[in-house]
Amino acid sequence: MTGTQRREQLIEVGRHTFAERGFEGTSVEEIAATAKVSKPVVYEHFGGKEGLYAVVVDREIADLTARITDTLTAPASPRVLIEQAAMALLTYIEDEPDGFRILVRDSPPGQQTGSFASLMSDVASQVEYIMVAQFKHRKLDPKAAPMYAQMLVGMVALTGQWWMDSNRKFGRSDVAAHLVNLAWNGLAGLEQSPVLRGPEQPASA
């Protein structure tokens, strides 16, 4: 392997191991043994377990941020934008379960590369403009919009964690539709059979 190929191999091994065992439960010895290299090779590329973990987390955050940001910048109605953001997170969970498991765990002491909580806070900041516009349209106090943005993103994130651990009893589109049903209509106006109103979703979703 070239140095670049070896580095990518170690990142993939580390990603899977961190997802399965967590940061504290993972050792450099285990990573090296799985990759069939010596421990010094891991240290040479990343300086230790912390360095490898930081690279893995940075990549996952960049991936998820790009997915959600792309949906929030696409031209669409406010409701459809929320649908698309929820679908982006749920699709990431479905496509990258190892990455999501890593993000929702607490970072190790001193970790400065971000966390799932800080990522969701960044997403909430992007959602604020949707909430502000809707509050003004409905003649509500726009000063409360940032709080509602945090509520909305937190609800989606926590539901995503539940969905990942629930043996997928509901399809991705179903979960997104019910999330938006509550977020958009509130308990007093829940639709009996909510469906997504955006572009048609794949039948397998």
Q: For the chain, what is the HEC assignment?
A: CCHHHHHHHHHHHHHHHHHHHCCCCCCHHHHHHHHCCCHHHHHHHHCCHHHHHHHHHHHHHHHHHHHHHHHHCCCCCHHHHHHHHHHHHHHHHHHCHHHHHHHHCCCCCCCCCCCHHHHHHHHHHHHHHHHHHHHHHCCCCHHHHHHHHHHHHHHHHHHHHHHHCCCCCCCHHHHHHHHHHHHHHCHHHCCCCCCCCCCCCCCCC
Q: What is the pLDDT of residues 4-57, one digit of tens each?
A: 999 999 999 999 999 999 999 999 999 999 999 999 999 999 999 999 999 999
Confidence of residue 192 (pLDDT cuts 50, 70, 90): confident
pLDDT above 90 for 174: yes
Mean pLDDT of 101-118: 70
Q: Check whether 193 has a pLDDT greater than 90.
A: no
pLDDT in tens, 37-51: 999 999 999 999 999
Is the entire prediction scored with pTM above 0.75? Answer: yes
Region 104-131: mean pLDDT is 74
The pLDDT > 70 percentage for the chain reads: 91
Instruction: Give the per-residue pLDDT at 205.
Output: 47
Q: What is the predicted pLDDT for the residue at 202?
A: 58
Would you state the pLDDT for residue 108?
A: 59
